[in-house]
A and B are shown apart, each in its own frame.
Chain A
């Protein structure tokens, strides 16, 4: 059974850097085709993909946020870390950690964490 859990600060100030950690179990990020990503959802709004890291350390970012995002993995700890710099109130959202379906065809996310609400406010 795959589980993912997000952790990080519930409140950050504008201009600060957000660091979120995803702790997962039930799979290994060293296995071929494995991937872990981050998706966010502002209150009452749509899902927005942020980043994805693959088993081979290939990293993909949302074009609109690429300059502010960094995703890394620690396979020994089963952690994936996302940093988002220069936070703004519009970045207020629930941030989800997700597991990529290990397939050669496309990208989709079959397991989601419970999400963590991050509020950006002075």
Chain B
């Protein structure tokens, strides 16, 4: 049973436009959400996180939105740049429990 779902395996966005990556979760007990970015042949790197007490967190070009009632979060990248092309993993955790990852979305930034 997949507790964290990223339903789009891939996404293509024009350079300079907004990239929106979506993630749904099923466990209402999750209280911390994270986004990771992964380049080929490298380990994932932490990008941005949000606590369940917030509905928005910004860090430069990256903004994460959390909709608890819909059990949905999204990552916005504005403006998209070529270096943003990577696989993005959504992850969730509950208290002191393990981090659960989604299957990832491959983002292609088109020139």
Partners in one complex: no
Using a CB–CB distance below 8 Å, which chain A residues touch chain B?
Answer: none
